Amino acid sequence: MTASADIAHQEHSNSFLTKYVWSQDHKVIAIQYGVTAIMVGVVALVLSALMRLQLGFPDQFSFINPASYLQFVTMHGMIMVVYLLTALLLGGFGNYLIPLMLGARDMVFPYLNMLSYWTYLLSVLVLMASFFVPGGPTGAGWTLYPPQAILPGTPGSEMGILMMLVSLGIFIVAFTMGGLNYVCTVLQARARGMTLMRMPLTIWGIFVATIMGLLAFPALLVSAIMMFLDSVAGTSFFMPAIMSLGEQLDHGGGSPILFQHLFWFFGHPEVYIVALPAFGMVSDVLATHARKNIFGYRMMVWAIVIIGGLSFVVWAHHMYVSGMNPYFGFFFATTTLIIAVPTALKVYNWILTLWRGNIHLTVPMLFAIGFIFTFVHGGLSGLFLGNVVIDLPLSDTYFVVGHFHMVMGVSPIMVLFAAIYHWFPKITGRMLHTGMGKFHFWATFVGTYLVFLPMHYLGFLGVPRRYFAMGGTDFIPASAQSLNASITVSALVIAVVQLVFIYNVIWSLRHGKAAGHNPWQATTLEWQTPDTPPKHGNWGPSEPVVYRWAYDYSVPGARDDFIPQNVPDSEVVVTDKLAFAKAGT
Amino acid sequence: MAITLIILLLIAGSVIFHFTSVWWFTPLASHWSAIDTTINITIWITGVVFIAVNLFLAYAIYRYRYKAGARADYQPENKKLEGWLLLVTSIGIAAMLAPGLYVWGQFVSPPADATVVEAVGQQWHWRFRLPGADGQLGKADVRASSELNPLGLDPNDPAGMDDLIIDSHELVLELNKPVKVLLRSNDVLHNFAVPQFRVKMDLVPGTVSYVWFIPTVVGQFDILCEELCGIGHFAMRGRVLVKESDDYQQWLAQQQSYRQYQARLAGDPEFGKAHYQVCASCHGAQGEGNQALHAPALAGQSGWYLKRQLRAYQQGLRGNAEGDVFGAQMIAMAQLVRDEQAINHLLAYIGSFNPNLVQAEPGNLHNGQRLYRNCSYCHGRNGEGIFAMNAPMLHSLEPWYLTRQLDYFKRQIRGNHPQDFYGAQMSLMAQSLHSEQDIADVVAYINSLQPKAGLTQGDSNDSER
């Protein structure tokens, strides 16, 4: 049965359940993914507020002790990286945008797609359930390093760690189902005329990130299985002969560093699994709202592909001080700094896209600019940590916390907000409220900078991360505590500001200004659907045909400052034939 | 144009913060100035790029903001410009990478004449080992680790017999002498980090890693564990003292060899009996304690712990703080038994006492159990005390004593002396008991853990020894 026959069938069985719950429509699945991810992200946000309370105002809160603090840290990190960012960028935006931007009617395997979401939901439920088991969730740090992750000196070593490993396993199953689907859809279901080099950068980012995920997540899966066996079946994959709390254990012969290699073989590509879709989406937001083609499109595509490839040979830069053979440092420092070159190129091209543009400072554009600023900051601090000898004093300090939050927390979240404000009109048919959106942007942008910039300096000082309390440490001045308090205040303010965003979404669903089909006057196919929000099947009776690349903004000689991808030259209203011909679109 | 303005403000703010920040590198105390130089090169290059790129961003936004009737340029690419940008970026990257790799080359190659020291981590403590007269460290394996041999030295390796065992959180190093620190863990991952030396490396069970440096400043420097190692991670502290050669040699001469260390608690209860008479007047003939005289029970407490406390009183690490009236009394009494052998005899005699059944105070056992979870990692599930964790027996201590000590730890009356590492650690942990009720509950729970009268006391007493 073809996809369109499937859809026709489903359109007829119009019950609420098949339409909104057991839906095979990529758009409904995308919203399910998105809403679930945002809800679990709110949990992670609350956890970060709890840990900031302890750091800013130590020992003032009876519900925070050394064990629960580590549990907050661990769950915050894992939820944000995997269950929020990965799920929202790929499961949410990937699902929504791939078929629409490519001119397809749906994913090529709609049933598998549905299964992917429900499996993801199961992984989230297992993870949330770990808050309620004896001993609570794991407090091993989001990196889950053995041996401590499965030994009693670490909170959650009874049940929490096992539930975490099981949940990750389920998540990976869900990701694999979704991921295979995205890759096949990009390769097989593009509209006529949509060559690979005409695809919007959003799709390129999601496409490459998904391939990376399919290659990287298995490393996490096997390490989760091996650690699970070490914990319950007495194997010793990661367990050398050791003691625990004064008792000799029966383990012997395993290697804790092996786990770290496996984890970071997943973990570093994971950074780009989050970053590449964000790179792609922000490119499209910038081009649309600057009314200008993305600068250096081909270079941008190659940069995405090269970054994706290189990100598989840099993983051990997370392990410079792990006790691995120190000579590895030469290789990994070199590969890591090389990856900065294509990344820097992307930054230049984003800014050169703005240059000589006609910049509309809409809310999505503001967030996209916020992304550039924070990403530049986070990328540059990465040059410190990637350079092995500089990592020596800075590793495991607040410099690392500042760096990865800037580059992997704030900047992708800037893009996520840009994307939500940008595509919400297509998803719901209504605009988000601009005033609330601008307030949300200013508070989030400035606030997060006030949180994470000072952390770099605590790191220069040498303040270690993952400390419940500093206690008496000679080299840390008392003023560091005041700085920590101010960071906490900023963090709490930002957390509260997010309520404005949530209110805006709910309010606009009902009261937002009607959006029309193409409120931003964008060129890409998702804005050319016959219905907004698009109906199941997306395109009505006839699928679109693509005649041009995704960035025909402000083409000389054309009357309008944008030409949608599905408009042939013959239908463009041309005011200056010579100029239009010269532009050679 | 608020966004342009804000970006300019953030750039200016970052630069001002950078130059006025009081939070900056801790002053260097090793020869690794090359590391600081490399960081400074990177700060300058990245700082210039940060300012330049964002200024250009701000200017572009301002210059090309939306104007009705304006139209954007149409320029899909500019290969020449992109080529230049690639080249300049690559040069900048190379300028940061090259010195970095050069200095790393030095870091991975310790000089042949470096003094070798071993640092062993175990939740949540440091111990150290130095080679003896033979100049080499004996073989060691965690599987040989025990109360008499915490570092797990191979009893069949003669090279280890004269190794010096530093059963303390404090390591002394010689000024201006290269040192290679071998890093070993008995349980989980730990990390040896001394910010002033700019060195940092994980301890990995099953393997030996290292760092090297030349200490160049006399003084004391914190050792921090910077690899998450469980709930006591933040309290795992050590210290390096850097001393002039003479002082260092003096310290070295006082350290026990492995052979001496094994005999550190060997004593004869018969000789100890005489020494105990003076203790008995307060602590009771059978070490049962006396609340009226503020003397805690000693029966059932492990010898290594009593010895450490006796030494702590003698050296002024305990009982000296303002507010510790009863501790101050003990300082004077502790001076009466200073001789190592006499102390061992005394401890052997105390070790022959059977612990009394302590009358527990009422408390919420459920809450106590919840709170005790964090204590149990070190003090044992049944409050029996664990040598490897440096944690004393608790279950047979009287409630009034436990309560007072928890209060002292919490208020840093106990554990505030800079040399009292173990006390300081307990002081950090005690902060998470938030109220008097919490303390009462956890004490009630601890006392509920004592072995029931008569049946197991003999056994548990044996195992203490």
The pLDDT tens digits for B31-52 are: 999 999 999 999 999 999 999 9
Q: Which of B219, B240, B264 corresponds to the end of one domain?
A: B264
Per-residue tokens: B55: 């200024």
Per-residue tokens: A143: 């990196």
Q: B123 and A245: CB-CB below 8 Å? A: yes
B399 and B429 belong to one structural domain = yes
Q: Is A246 left (phi over 0), alpha (psi -120 to 50) or beta?
A: left
HSE-up of residue B255 (Cα within 13 Å, Cβ side): 24
Cβ atoms of residues B153 and B163 within 8 Å: yes
- State the amino acid at position B220 in one-letter form: Q
- State the amino acid at position A311 in one-letter form: S
B330 and B364 belong to one structural domain = no
B369 and B396 belong to one structural domain = yes
Q: B104 and A388: CB-CB below 8 Å? A: yes
Over chain B, what is the mean pLDDT? 92
Q: B434 and A59: CB-CB below 8 Å? A: yes
In a domain, residue B213? The reply is yes
Q: How far apart are CA A504 and CA A519, in angstroms?
A: 18
B119 and B212 belong to one structural domain = yes
Q: How far apart are CA A427 and CA A27, in angstroms?
A: 8
Look at residues B234, B54, B17 and name the one whose alpha carbon lies nearest to residue A486: B17
For position B434, what pLDDT does the model report?
A: 87
pLDDT single digits (tens) B141-169: 999 999 889 999 999 999 999 999 999 99
CB proximity list for A59: less than 8 A, separation 6 or greater: A469, B431, B432, B434
Sign of CA dihedral A154, A155, A156, A161: negative
In a domain, residue B458? The reply is no
> Is pLDDT at B460 greater than 50 in this prediction?
no
CATH number of the structural domain spanning residue B341:
1.10.760.10
Residue with token string 């410099």: A399
> Is pLDDT at A4 greater than 60 in this prediction?
no
What is the chain A residue with the closest CA to B203?
A: A323
B237 or A11, higher pLDDT: B237
> Is pLDDT at A441 greater than 90 in this prediction?
yes
Q: B 374-403 residues with CB below 8 A of A?
A: 374, 377-378, 380, 386-389
> Is pLDDT at A3 greater than 60 in this prediction?
no
Q: A292 and B432: CB-CB below 8 Å? A: no
Q: How far apart are CA A120 and CA A91, in angstroms?
A: 9
Q: Which helix (H) or strand (E) holds B384?
A: none
Q: How far apart are CA B254 and CA B262, in angstroms?
A: 16
Q: A369 and B3: CB-CB below 8 Å? A: yes
> Is pLDDT at A381 greater than 50 in this prediction?
yes
- State the amino acid at position B359 in one-letter form: Q
A-chain residues within 8 Å CB-CB of B424? 471-472
DSSP character string of A340-373? HHHHHHHHHHHHHHHTT--B---HHHHHHHHHHH
Average pLDDT over residues B329-342: 89
Q: How far is B20 from chain A (nearest CA, A)?
A: 11
What percent of chain A has pLDDT above 90?
92
B-chain residues within 8 Å CB-CB of A292? 72-74
> Is pLDDT at B464 greater than 50 in this prediction?
no
A190 or A8, higher pLDDT: A190
Q: Which residues of B101-117 are buried (b: 16+ CB within 10 A; e: fewer)?
A: bebbeebeebeeebbbb
For position A11, what pLDDT does the model report?
A: 52
> Is pLDDT at B456 greater than 80 in this prediction?
no
> Is pLDDT at B453 greater than 50 in this prediction?
no
Average pLDDT over residues A360-383: 97
Would you call the peptide bond into A269 cis, given omega within 30 degrees of 0 as the criterion? no
Least confident of A49-53, A244-248, B96-100: A244-248
Confidence of residue B332 (pLDDT cuts 50, 70, 90): confident
Q: How far is B285 from chain A (nearest CA, A)?
A: 32
Residue with token string 């359940």: A17
Confidence of residue B209 (pLDDT cuts 50, 70, 90): very high
Q: Which of B209, B234, B264 corresponds to the end of one domain?
A: B264
In a domain, residue B341? The reply is yes
Confidence of residue A2 (pLDDT cuts 50, 70, 90): very low
CB proximity B19 to A under 8 Å = no
Dihedral angle computed from the Cα positions of residues B150, B154, B155 and B161, in that order, rounded to the nearest 10 degrees: -80
Cβ atoms of residues A501 and B263 within 8 Å: no
B378 and B329 belong to one structural domain = no
In a domain, residue B456? The reply is no
In a domain, residue B46? The reply is yes
B400 and B383 belong to one structural domain = yes
DSSP code, position B124: T
Q: Which of B108, B142, B173 corresponds to the end of one domain?
A: B108
Q: B 345-374 residues with CB below 8 A of A?
A: 373-374
Average pLDDT over residues A233-260: 95
Q: B 277-306 residues with CB below 8 A of A?
A: none
Alpha helix locations (H) across A23-159?
A: 26-56, 66-78, 95-102, 110-129
Number of domains in chain B: 4
To 10 degrees, what angle do helices A201-232 and A95-102 make?
150
- State the amino acid at position A126 in one-letter form: V
For position A13, what pLDDT does the model report?
A: 56
CATH number of the structural domain spanning residue B258:
2.60.40.420
B378 and B422 belong to one structural domain = yes
Average pLDDT over residues B131-140: 93
Residue with token string 């990994």: A332
Which residue range(s) make up the domain with B248?
115-264
B306 and B423 belong to one structural domain = no
Q: A345 and B85: CB-CB below 8 Å? A: yes
B160 and B177 belong to one structural domain = yes
Q: Which helix (H) or strand (E) holds A585?
A: none
Furthest-apart CA pair in chain B: how many Å?
105
B365 and B376 belong to one structural domain = yes
Cβ atoms of residues A403 and A375 within 8 Å: no
Look at residues B189, B28, B169 and name the one whose alpha carbon lies nearest to residue A393: B28
Q: A321 and B202: CB-CB below 8 Å? A: yes
B-chain residues within 8 Å CB-CB of A155? 231
In a domain, residue B399? The reply is yes
pTM for the model stands at 0.93
Task: Collapse the DSSP code of A499 into the 3-class scheme (helix H, G, I; strand E, B; otherwise coil) and give the result.
Answer: helix
Confidence of residue B463 (pLDDT cuts 50, 70, 90): very low
For position A585, what pLDDT does the model report?
A: 60
Cβ atoms of residues A492 and A49 within 8 Å: yes
> Is pLDDT at A247 greater than 80 in this prediction?
yes
pLDDT single digits (tens) A192-228: 999 999 999 999 999 999 999 999 999 999 999 999 9
DSSP character string of B392-417? ---TTS-HHHHHHHHHHHHTTSSS-S
Alpha helix locations (H) across B320-364?
A: 325-334, 340-350
Q: How far is B19 from chain A (nearest CA, A)?
A: 11
Over chain A, what is the mean pLDDT? 94
> Is pLDDT at A8 greater than 80 in this prediction?
no
> Is pLDDT at A63 greater than 90 in this prediction?
no
The residue extents of the domains of chain A are 534-585
pLDDT single digits (tens) A558-583: 999 999 999 999 999 999 999 998 88
What percent of chain A has pLDDT above 70?
97
Per-residue tokens: B317: 């690490």
For position B465, what pLDDT does the model report?
A: 32
> Is pLDDT at A357 greater than 90 in this prediction?
yes
CB proximity B22 to A under 8 Å = yes
CB proximity list for B125: less than 8 A, separation 6 or greater: B169, B236, B389, B390
- What ipTM was predicted for this assembly? 0.93
- What residues pair up with A536 in beta bridges, in sequence order? none
For position A62, what pLDDT does the model report?
A: 83
**Could you tell me whether strands B170-174 and B237-243 are parallel, antiparallel, or unpaired per DSSP bridges?**
parallel
B250 and B124 belong to one structural domain = yes
CB proximity B134 to A under 8 Å = no
CB proximity B318 to A under 8 Å = no
- For residue A37, count CB atoms less than 10 angstroms from its CB and return exposed for 0-12, middle for 13-18, buried for 19 or more: buried
Q: How far is B126 from chain A (nearest CA, A)?
A: 14
> Is pLDDT at B432 greater than 90 in this prediction?
no
- What residues pair up with B60 in beta bridges, in sequence order? none
pLDDT single digits (tens) B3-18: 999 999 999 999 999 9
What is the chain B residue with the closest CA to A54?
A: B432
In a domain, residue B461? The reply is no
Q: How far apart are CA A113 and CA A119, in angstroms?
A: 10
Size of interface A-B (CB pairs under 8 A): 361
> Is pLDDT at A9 greater than 60 in this prediction?
no
- What residues pair up with B222 in beta bridges, in sequence order? B239
CB proximity B30 to A under 8 Å = no
In a domain, residue B464? The reply is no
Task: Collapse the DSSP code of B168 into the 3-class scheme (helix H, G, I; strand E, B; otherwise coil) and give the result.
Answer: coil
Q: A454 and B188: CB-CB below 8 Å? A: no
Sign of CA dihedral A136, A38, A3, A11: positive
Average pLDDT over residues A359-365: 97
Q: B74 and A293: CB-CB below 8 Å? A: yes
Average pLDDT over residues B53-60: 97
B-chain residues within 8 Å CB-CB of A147? 187-189, 205
Would you call the peptide bond into B150 cis, given omega within 30 degrees of 0 as the criterion? no
Average pLDDT over residues A470-483: 89
Residue with token string 């701000």: B58
